[in-house]
Amino acid sequence: MTIWAFLSIGAGGALGALARYGVGVAVSRRSSLAYPPSTFFINIAGAFLLGLSAAHAAHSPGSAWVEKYVFQIGFLGAFTTFSTFTLEAFRMIEDGEWFRCGLYVGGSAVIGLLACALGYYAL
């Protein structure tokens, strides 16, 4: 991997982290849902964007490098929050909120898969 790949991933990651923070704050302020709404929304949006990007890269080989390093690894790697998702789910279990945790984990998995497929087939 070249220095350009590392710099591209870092630049994409910085933008993804800033976007994750901004979207997280915006969604949390506007939601009254019982599960962590910002993490759920970010994971679903990230799944959709990753599906869309994968399809675009498959149909536009010339953009594959930028898509992979800057957007998929850098931006989406920092934007999506699976580690936060798992910690939030674990805390729900610790608090005995099994049903809430099941809705959160199941909904994230099922809707995330659907969002990824929708993104992939949107082109």
Q: Is the pLDDT of residue 55 over 70?
A: yes
Question: Could you tell me the pTM of the whole model?
Answer: 0.79
Give CB contacts under 8 A, 24+ apart, made by 86-93. Answer: 88/35, 88/36, 88/39
Instruction: Find all residues with CB under 8 Å of 15, minimum gap 6, and list them.
Output: 74, 75, 78
* The predicted structure's pLDDT at residue 15: 97
Report domain extents, the chain: 3-121
* Band of residue 82 on the pLDDT scale cut at 50, 70, 90: confident
List residues forming the annotated binding site. 77, 80
Q: Where residue 13 falls among pLDDT bands split at 50, 70, 90?
A: very high
Determine the Cα–Cα distance for residues 56 and 91; give it in Å rounded to an integer. 37
> Could you tell me which residues are annotated as the binding site for Na(+)?
77, 80
